[in-house]
Amino acid sequence: MRVRHGLSGAASLGGALAILAGVGGASLSGCSFNTAPPVFAVDTATAPADTGGADVVSDAAGADAAADGVGGDDAAEADTAEAADTATALDTGGAVDTAVVTDTDTEPGGDDTTPGPDDVTLTSADDAALYDGVTEIAGDLVIDVRAAEQVTLGDLERVGGSVVVVGRADVEVTGLVSLPKLEHVGLNVQVAYVQEGAVLDLPALTFVGGHLDVSHGALSLSAPALARVNGDVRVHDVELRGLALGALATVGGSVEIGRFSVGGDLTGLDAAFPKLTRLDGDLELWAGPEVRVEAPLLVTLGGDLDVTRMALELSLPVLAHVGGDVRLENLDVAELDLGALHDVAGEIRAVGCAGPALATLDLSALVTVGGGVEIVELDDLETVALDALTTLGGRLRVARAPALAAVSAPLLAGVPTDVDVSWNGEVTLTLPSVKTIGGELDLQGNVAVVAQLGALTTVGGNVLVTDTALRGLSAGKLASIGRHLRFIGVDSEIATVAFPMLGIVVGDVEVRRLAGATSFTMNAASAVGTTTADGGTGGLTVIGNPDLAAVGFALLADVAADLVIRDNPKLPRTVIDAYVVQMTVGGTSTVCSNKGDLPCP
């Protein structure tokens, strides 16, 4: 049997499946949902294919790892798929009289294009009765029972291939599927298109050599002894009535839970992994109702932590190492515990729903981030404290957080791209050790800002302070700006805005509508802009500053483009002329409508 994935349309489950497209929406009103599931076409004439994700490991490869004692001992158990004609073939006219169903097929797991003699397909409870006493199936076990009846294989302990419980989009499997003694599955456990009320009961299962994949239906899955899955654990496009995976300790691929709703007695999903210590792939949660995910022993995540469009409590209290990205997007967060996070190889991105959400994002143990840190639209967020951060591979962005009061990274020595703290509340930015910013320093649209940048010497891009109240600025060592310096629409609570060491501004210097400040000085600057063979780029503009009474350009000799100083009612023309006389201006010069000056034409 092979399951094929289509990309168009939406699955129809006969009205029984409430795939989340609004279920649980009351708790997620700020988030945008578009969770129409993909279509799966099921061909029961061929063998089950790997549906993507981590590579599976067959029993022939020693998948149950005798060294850790999970799922059996390959040293003591011969691979049944390689045993040559050691048992009788299936007698379809009566009960199977052997403990092992097998043949000479050398491709375990049903990877043949047609079912082999070692595969078993059940279409009724009567079929299941034929296998009383069978303890082992070398190939696939396919359960395609489309009636409300109990299917039990009471003696089965081992399946060398895959266990597949599957219906079709229009006719789903129903009832109880019970495999009370099954301990080991060499390849995948795949469940698709099971109907409301269906239960898959695997109380003894400890090992799955491939993927555990549950999709498209309404069911309860119970595998309370399952300790190891070599591939992925995937639960998606499904209404869950129960999920018991409490013994899961090792996952060689990813854990993916997404596009699901809850039913029966559940009001939310409690996905607890109390024994999970190793997850080699991603932890991915997306598009679901209220969910609590807890993994109290998980220290290392090999891939991404990716959570999207969820109302959740996420508790990973000892997670220290993430091999990919941390992406938390469109969340309604009740609790988020990442307080032990030490290093992230990729980026950290947290995006809210532009509504009530996370008040505290504890990243106080974070030392290294290979990419950037971006925190956006968390309306209740008050503090971003990166107390231990020493290495950042991308930008630092904290934006659109109206309750934000503080962003600090006291040990960070440099930022390779941008520092963007914009459109927040009354925020204090504390980066006392940062010497270089490779991109922009962007302080725009905050209610108020205090910028403590006492070690900063170089900004590779723009310095933008716009549309904000300026309550404090410490940048006394800033010597070089690679593009523009702009103060626009600023209500300054400090009288003097000064850059005493600033010698180079490659682009424009623009001071426009700077209210409250009586003085603006950059007395170390010798040139503004860049002069080329084709002319100059970068000018000096001082326009419309109602309180400005003094400027300082003591060494400024060259302005590459235009010079415009106008509409500053308290700035004396005599002060302006003392500096302009020493300047060579590459463009036009306009000086008018200042104190004691002629009006502008």
Convert the pLDDT of each residue in 546-568 to its tens digit.
999 999 999 999 999 999 999 99
In this prediction, residues 87-95 reach a mean pLDDT of 34
The answer to whether residues 336 and 361 touch, using CB atoms and an 8 Å cutoff, is yes
Find, among 416, 405, 384, 418, the residue nearest to 471 by Cα.
405
pTM of the model: 0.78
Strands 480-481, 448-452: pairing kind: unpaired
Mean pLDDT comparison of 118-122, 128-132, 415-419, highest-scoring range: 415-419
Nearest to 118 by CA among 95, 152, 141: 141
Phi, psi of 303 (to 5 degrees): -115, -135
Please determine, for residue 86, whether its predicted confidence score (pLDDT) is greater than 50. no
Tokens representing residue 465 in the block: 């302070």
DSSP E strands in 155-304: the ranges are 158-159, 163-166, 176-178, 184-185, 189-201, 207-208, 212-222, 228-229, 233-244, 250-251, 255-262, 269-272, 278-279, 283-286, 290-294, 300-301
Q: Over the stretch 517-543, which tens digit does the pLDDT of each residue have? A: 999 999 999 999 987 666 668 999 999
The three-class DSSP label of residue 169 is coil
Buried b (16+ CB within 10 A) or exposed e, 107-139: ebbbbbeebbebbbebeeeebbebbeebbbbbb
Residue 334 has pLDDT above 80, yes or no: no
Give the tokens for residue 64: 């149950």
Task: Give the closest residue to 426 by CA, choosing from 390, 471, 465, 456.
Answer: 471
Most confident of 159-173, 242-256, 308-322: 242-256
Tokens of 413: 């020595």
Write the pLDDT tens digit of every residue in 4-31: 222 222 222 222 223 223 333 333 334 4
Query: At 59, phi and psi to the nearest 5?
Result: -60, -30
> Please, what is the Cα angle at 530 between 468 and 581, to 5 degrees?
85
Q: Are 285 and 263 in contact (CB under 8 A)?
A: no
Overall size of the chain counted in residues: 601
Q: Minimal CA–CA distance to 375: which of 345, 409, 342?
A: 409
Beta bridge partners of 239: 218, 261
The answer to whether the CB of 358 falls within 8 A of the CB of 352 is yes
The answer to whether the beta carbons of residues 296 and 275 sit under 8 Å apart is no
Residue 492 banded pLDDT, cuts 50, 70, 90 = very high
Nearest one of 307, 375, 229, 310 to 20, comparing CA atoms: 310
322/305 Cα distance (integer angstroms):
7
Per-residue 3-state assignment (H helix, E strand, C coil) for 318-370: CCCEECCCEEEEEEEEEEEECCCCCEECCCEEEEECCCCCCCEEECCCCCEEC
